[in-house]
Structure 1
Amino acid sequence: MQRMWYDPTTDRWSVDLQGRRYELHCGETLELYIGGEPVLCSVEMDRQQWYFVIKDVRFYLRTSDEYVVSI
């Protein structure tokens, strides 16, 4: 599991992979941990905001929050 955070200087969400920063791109698939359970999702961006797609449900990411994911 890794933490995912937003970097306003690059306008991208990033993940720490073994001490190296990895910037996420639209359409990338990952597991988001909700209540300790992994849920398969993809990360996308509309005109101005990033969001997750889980099956056919979408929700926007809060840039002030961090998320626990697995890539």
Structure 2
Amino acid sequence: MAEKPKKPQKLRARLPRGLGDRGPAEIAATRRMTETIREVYERYGFEPVETPTMEFTDALGKFLPDQDRPN
């Protein structure tokens, strides 16, 4: 009897750990908090800076706990 060829596994859509969807109330609260922080920082002479949302794992690997480090 011949074996059936294995079907390739379908990829499932999933969020990376720590990245979840946020609803309108949480977004509004985050905006209020960020605006308050920005106002205080600017009052003391700080200027805004934006950093990347994502980084290469080799740039972050040395700072991750052992179980999260990329191989």
User: TM-score if structure 2 supplies the norm length?
Assistant: 0.19
Higher relative contact order, chain-length normalized (CA < 8 Å, sep 6+): 1
Choose between structure 1 and 2: higher strand proportion: 1
Choose between structure 1 and 2: higher helix proportion: 2
User: TM-score if structure 1 supplies the norm length?
Assistant: 0.19
